[in-house]
Amino acid sequence: MDPTSSEQEGTARRRGRGALIALLAAAGAVLVVIGGLSLVTTDDEEPAALAEPRSPGTHRTIKEPVTRLDEAPPVADPAAGAPRVLTVPHLGITAAVRQIQVQGGILTPPADATEVGWDITTAEPGSAYGSTVITGHTVHTGGGAVNELDDLSMGDAVMVATSKGRIEYDVTDVVELTKQEMVRAIPKLYRREVPGRIVLITCTDWNGFEYLANTVVVAEPA
């Protein structure tokens, strides 16, 4: 490839990415774009944005899956399929799952804050490989299905019902990310080559005007 053309393409990609980040920030977006993927989770009543975490000690890294060479390759769960209901017993969550996808560069959760949305470009729950990304609104006045997502701890159960049965997961990671950290985390959260897992995303850290961060929960098959 001609070096000049390569440099021009790289500059165009950087400009396009920067323009989309700026657009999302202006719109009160929560997640930004990486590799063509973007996602937004907002409060139904107020704009949300990512800035700084609530406290310097907040866990802010996504753990990479660890695969032992002597482990058998993952297999699909017999109940694998499109998600219908998300259940998190520890939080008392039972939420209908709607299918959503990126529109205009933004992935928006269902308008009904009692429901959550599954990004249909990601893996079906129970798949042998891939990340199942589910997101929902947090409402600072209460009533959002995933309002208390950051109260989860390692080992807590997450369950997804499909038309074929129920798939159970155990939480392995609970992370709070700033806007800049989320930019770097997107490729990890959307990874397709990892053993099947579920990734839950919502807003967090309401400051009276807007949300300042995102909570990301990763859970692996129980």
CATH number at 193 reads 2.40.260.10
- CA dist., res. 159 & res. 173, Å (int): 16
Q: What is the mean pLDDT of residues 28-46?
A: 42
Tell me what pLDDT residue 17 has.
38
- CA dist., res. 193 & res. 180, Å (int): 24
Q: Is the pLDDT of residue 54 over 60?
A: no
Q: Which residue has the tokens 């042998």?
A: 128
Residue 68 has φ and ψ, to the nearest 5°, of -85, 140
Tell me what pLDDT residue 72 has.
82
Q: Is the pLDDT of residue 196 over 70?
A: yes
Tell me what pLDDT residue 84 has.
98
Q: Is residue 109 a contact partner of residue 136, using CB atoms and an 8 Å limit?
A: yes
Residue 67 has φ and ψ, to the nearest 5°, of -120, 120
In tens, the pLDDT along 107-156 reads 889 999 999 999 999 999 999 999 999 999 888 888 899 999 999 999 99
Tell me what pLDDT residue 69 has.
58
In tens, the pLDDT along 96-105 reads 999 999 888 7
- How many domains is the chain built from? 1
For residue 143, what are the contacts with CB-CB under 8 A and spacing of at least 6? Answer: 113, 114
Q: Is the pLDDT of residue 169 over 50?
A: yes
Among 20-34, 100-114, 117-131, 202-216, top mean pLDDT goes to 117-131
- 62 vs 96, higher pLDDT: 96
- 47 vs 41, higher pLDDT: 41
Domain that holds residue 160: 3-221
